[in-house]
Structure 1
């Protein structure tokens, strides 16, 4: 298995948590979650979606609005990004969502990230993506198992934070 150190780390910790700790046997789903973490290491990937005026979207409400303006594969990719974005935040940093709601300054303060993520993946799964993109079946499974994936991501974070606290392998 080749790849960068970060890629191997995310893949290894995802496989450990999802396969060993949670008993998830769906290799494609676990690989998708690993790839999601790797993509979102770069903040510009997390906020890669742009509005029609060229500005980056930072809120789920804006992303959904953009998705509704698109058709075909473009619509699928925006909805998939909404699913990925909501899964990442609700799994890796759920406390930031609570903070947004408590501050009352975000357009996303009234939305349920879990419900919107499941819905976004379900819509994306209805549009075929082609051979070079995740299958509709996989995206549909992401919708069905959203809560479990979010829980798995929380466990990934907990595991690496515990490892970091004990001067384990993660020392970045």
Structure 2
């Protein structure tokens, strides 16, 4: 994960705070912080395959991640898997909705699922299972406000794309 002092992390925090407050009227520091941390974690793409099966292979389909969560004997592991499903679905739904067709292609196990519904459900379950009790309220808010957060992420993307245009179409994290 990108450290909180890294310029990209600070950029995402600033864009998220500004967008969520000015465009959505959301001034909840824990929710905004969580969403900006999600961007800083997922944009470099390494954490996308964070949930692994029992053989250690990264899972990229939501249904397989959910199956891994439901088969976990350890409640903490189950909660972390559900949190990742929430993060994964929120990221793709909010930041790159145009990629959902490919992610849920007809050959994918995810072809019939709704990412928003699964994200809401997963954040709710994570909120009941999280070993870190201070994380439970923000996970519950992410469940309750999934669509708003996804929309907020789409607006944050528009803002960073404006910045990229200003600096010559070079990705901010390149």
- Is 1:91 aligned to 2:94, yes or no? yes
Q: Which runs of 5+ in 2 are unaligned?
A: none
Shift of 1:170: 6.8
Residues 88-127 of structure 1 correspond to what in structure 2 (within 5 A)? 88-101=91-104, 103-127=105-129
Name the SS of the counterpart of 2:112 in structure 1. Answer: coil
Map Cα deviations across residues 68-122 of structure 1 (whole Å, 9 max, x no partner): 0113111110000000000000000000002344x42221111100000000001
Aligned residues: 168
Contact 2:116–2:147 (8 Å) recurs in 1: yes
Which stretch of the first structure deviates more once superposed, 37-46 or 7-16?
37-46
1:57, 1:123 → 2: CA distance? 19
Change (3 A) 1:100 1:49: closer
Shift of 1:138: 1.1
TM-score normalized by the length of structure 1: 0.90
- Is 1:64 aligned to 2:83, yes or no? no
1:147 aligns with 147
1:28 aligns with 30
RMSD: 1.9
Map Cα deviations across residues 132-160 of structure 1 (whole Å, 9 max, x no partner): xx521111001000000000000011111
TM-score normalized by the length of structure 2: 0.89
1:138, 1:3 → 2: CA distance? 22
Name the SS of the counterpart of 1:52 in structure 2. Answer: coil
Contact 1:86–1:116 (8 Å) recurs in 2: yes
Contact 2:76–2:130 (8 Å) recurs in 1: yes
